[in-house]
Chain A
Amino acid sequence: MDFHLTREQEMVRKMYREFAETEVKPLAEEIDEEERFPMETVEKMAKLGMMGIYFPKQYGGAGGDVLSYAMCVEELAKVCGTTAVIVSAHTSLCCAPIFEHGTEEQKMKYLPDLLSGKKIGAFGLTEPNAGTDASGQQTTAVLDGDHYVLNGSKCFITNGNVADTFVVFAMTDPKLGNHGISAFIVEKEFPGFSTGKHEKKMGIRGSSTCDLIFEDCIVPKENLLGKEGQGFKIAMMTLDGGRIGIAAQALGLGEGAVNEAIKYTQERVQFKKRLSQFQNTQFQLADMHTRMQAAQFLVYSAAMKKQNHEPYSMDAAMAKLFAAEAASDVTRRAVQLFGGYGYTREYPVERMMRDAKITEIYEGTSEVQRMVISSHLGVK
């Protein structure tokens, strides 16, 4: 196994780090406090190719690789969980399914604007009654001549209020269950489409999360993504890729908390000693770093398998499961090391702890990841 990054990957990571430190970190506290979507950061990332990292140049992508994308989400999450998930949801949940399942016409129509970051993408699968049980889709799509008519609603949609292009799932044939679900590319201007209220969340508060509402929404027939009835498969394959992004977000959050804790414990003095001189602090930090390093190997391995077109579904599930639980644990321990100050908004670790929790929930809960992993093991 080769654990070395290529020279391009080393270079791109250096760029992400500089960008995150200079452009993202100074805004992190403010966008969390004000629940404000950092559009100015998205515009800067777009110029640098960060909204289409691993897609070919012919569609407007940056021509990079999947690991470079995961590292981008990781480096952003070290300083701001919100900014990281904007890139992750846009890339993995909207650009990827159009790239992987779209016709050449669909790719040429939608990808250049998405990959160059002129437009933001989102993904609509979850419904009030179809969360972990995504097969219980109640949104319907009925073919009517040259278009489909969509009715229903989606909830908890990341980037929902700011996106221009959505990959949306709806039942085209309820009798067929999972096989009756189809995927569509929906533009925000389509008649009958609207977005609902912004969710007030515990963490990633600068990220836009809202309902999508379809009231006799007209979607041209040519916007069917894949074939009728392939929607559930497309959704599951998309979420496999998405999990690499969320795992990378969790990884970055945990690593960011370790960095903050190392810095703080070397400064804070109690009992006439720096906190870092206490063995408890040293052991805590050793454990925290070890967990995040293990998470990094899982995330990078899943990303490289996707890049190499190897099966990676179980790897992505393991990476997300482990990284998310590690991030929650490590950020919580960081708050503990900071003591009372860690509980205040004066320091970033409480934000990191709030941000980390969602990584155990969205794009498949930790329980779902365990289901995916055990099914790959053939355990029934």
Chain B
Amino acid sequence: MKIIVCVKQVPDTSGKVAVNPDGTLNRASMAAITNPDDLNAVEAALTLKEQTGAEVVIVSMGPPPAEAMLREILARGADRAVLVSGREFGGSDTYATSQILAAAINKIGVEDDDIVMCGRQAIDGDTAQVGPQIAEKLGLPQVSYAADIKKEGDTLTIKRMLEDGYMTIKVKTPCLITCIKELNVPRYMSVGGIFECYSKPYEVFDYNTLKDDPLIDPATIGLKGSPTNILTSFTPPQKGAGMMLEGADKETCEKLAGILAAKHMI
């Protein structure tokens, strides 16, 4: 059994978001981190590894410096890593990215008792599309927004967290799961893991590695294969600090009503 986890290196948007004059993200000026939801997927995979002895394989598409992120995930306990990297893949939107990642996962091989895991969405694009699209392209059943995962035999019982409640789904392997932050708390790298991570198996899949997969077609990968056009992107204006009123008494309520009335909100 193996668990293939898709991860993405993203700019840290918790600080100031830098945007180039042409509207694209200025990635160079922002620290690169592992997409937070992807770390929840990694943690879920490592937990299942502890329970089942499964092999955990990490896959990421990105430029060569993404190796540092993959090594850090190996240091958390993953067994091997694959970086999908090539000029032909540059500029891919979610459609093209999922096309390429699906081909990479095909190359790694999905067997009957395998699981593919992704984070719900990346903090740079916030689309939540890549995971589900990979599942469609691989012909795998998909369960999104996993907040709890239990495995018995070849059946996974997954609690999905939706906006208006929970939904519990049973699914057989092989399948694809997208994970949310409520699922777990990602572990730290361990000292032993860090000193081992550069001797663990690490492969780079470039265009030539994947070109024979039917999913890889110049018309469906890279900028040319991306149907999405970004018209504009911008830093949202900073909101001012809110005002807190405390108390359930009449005076506080009147004060609140007064403030809202003054702003013509009521």
By a beta-carbon cutoff of 8 Å, the part of chain A in contact with chain B is 7-8, 11-12, 14-15, 18-19, 47-50, 53, 57, 61-64, 68, 72
Q: Does the CB pair B190–A64 fall under 8 Å?
A: no
B194: chain A residues at CB < 8 Å are 8, 11-12, 15, 64
> Do A63 and B75 contact each other (CB < 8 Å), given the known contacts A7-B198, A8-B198?
no
> Do A49 and B190 contact each other (CB < 8 Å), given the known contacts A11-B72, A11-B75?
yes
Chain A min CB distance to B256 (Å): 32
User: Which of B188, B192, B197 touches A62 (beta carbons < 8 Å)?
Assistant: B192
B223 CB–A CB distance under 8 Å? no
By a beta-carbon cutoff of 8 Å, the part of chain B in contact with chain A is 71-72, 75, 188-198
Q: Does the CB pair B190–A68 fall under 8 Å?
A: no
Q: Nearest residue in A to B76 (C-beta to C-beta)? A: A15
A12: chain B residues at CB < 8 Å are 189, 191, 194-195
B198: chain A residues at CB < 8 Å are 7-8
Q: Does the CB pair A47–B191 fall under 8 Å?
A: no
A-B contacts, 19 listed (Cβ < 8 Å): A7-B198, A8-B194, A11-B189, A11-B194, A11-B197, A12-B194, A14-B189, A15-B190, A19-B188, A48-B190, A49-B190, A49-B193, A61-B192, A62-B190, A64-B191, A64-B192, A64-B195, A68-B191, A68-B195
Q: Nearest residue in B to A60 (C-beta to C-beta)? A: B192
Chain B min CB distance to A286 (Å): 26
B189: chain A residues at CB < 8 Å are 11-12, 14-15, 48
B71: chain A residues at CB < 8 Å are 7, 11
Tell me, in angstroms, the Cα distance from A63 to B190 when the chains sit together: 11
Chain A min CB distance to B218 (Å): 36
User: Which of A8, A18, A57 touches B188 (beta carbons < 8 Å)?
Assistant: A18
Q: Nearest residue in B to A50 (C-beta to C-beta)? A: B191
Main SS at interface, chain B? helix
Tell me, in angstroms, the Cα distance from A235 to B190 when the chains sit together: 31
Q: Nearest residue in B to A19 (C-beta to C-beta)? A: B188
Tell me, in angstroms, the Cα distance from A107 to B117 when the chains sit together: 42
B191: chain A residues at CB < 8 Å are 12, 15, 48-50, 53, 62-64, 68, 72
Chain A min CB distance to B120 (Å): 22
A61: chain B residues at CB < 8 Å are 192
Q: Nearest residue in B to A7 (C-beta to C-beta)? A: B198
Main SS at interface, chain A? helix
A53: chain B residues at CB < 8 Å are 191
Q: Nearest residue in B to A63 (C-beta to C-beta)? A: B195
Q: Does the CB pair A49–B192 fall under 8 Å?
A: yes
Chain A min CB distance to B134 (Å): 29
A64: chain B residues at CB < 8 Å are 191-192, 194-195
Q: Does the CB pair A63–B188 fall under 8 Å?
A: no
Tell me, in angstroms, the Cα distance from A63 to B194 when the chains sit together: 9
Chain A min CB distance to B200 (Å): 12
The list of the 5 closest CB pairs from A to B, nearest first, reads: A49-B191, A62-B191, A62-B192, A49-B192, A15-B189
Tell me, in angstroms, the Cα distance from A96 to B188 when the chains sit together: 25
Q: A11-B197, A12-B194, A53-B191 are in contact. List 17 more A-B contacts (CB 8 A).
A: A8-B194, A8-B197, A11-B71, A11-B75, A11-B189, A12-B191, A12-B195, A18-B188, A48-B190, A48-B191, A49-B190, A49-B193, A62-B190, A62-B191, A63-B195, A68-B195, A72-B191
Tell me, in angstroms, the Cα distance from A62 to B192 when the chains sit together: 4
A49: chain B residues at CB < 8 Å are 190-193
A8: chain B residues at CB < 8 Å are 194-195, 197-198
Tell me, in angstroms, the Cα distance from A57 to B71 when the chains sit together: 20
Chain B min CB distance to A111 (Å): 14
Q: Nearest residue in A to B196 (C-beta to C-beta)? A: A63
Chain B min CB distance to A188 (Å): 26
Find the residue from A48, A50, A68 having the highest chain B CB count within 10 A: A48
Find the residue from A15, A61, A72 having the highest chain B CB count within 10 A: A15
A68: chain B residues at CB < 8 Å are 191, 195
Q: Nearest residue in B to A44 (C-beta to C-beta)? A: B188
Chain B min CB distance to A220 (Å): 31
Q: Nearest residue in B to A72 (C-beta to C-beta)? A: B191
Chain B min CB distance to A128 (Å): 38
Find the residue from B72, B190, B196 having the highest chain A CB count within 10 A: B190
Chain B min CB distance to A74 (Å): 14
B196: chain A residues at CB < 8 Å are 63
Tell me, in angstroms, the Cα distance from A19 to B193 when the chains sit together: 15
A18: chain B residues at CB < 8 Å are 188
Tell me, in angstroms, the Cα distance from A63 to B192 when the chains sit together: 6
B192: chain A residues at CB < 8 Å are 49, 57, 61-64
Find the residue from B75, B189, B191, B194 having the highest chain A CB count within 10 A: B191
A14: chain B residues at CB < 8 Å are 189
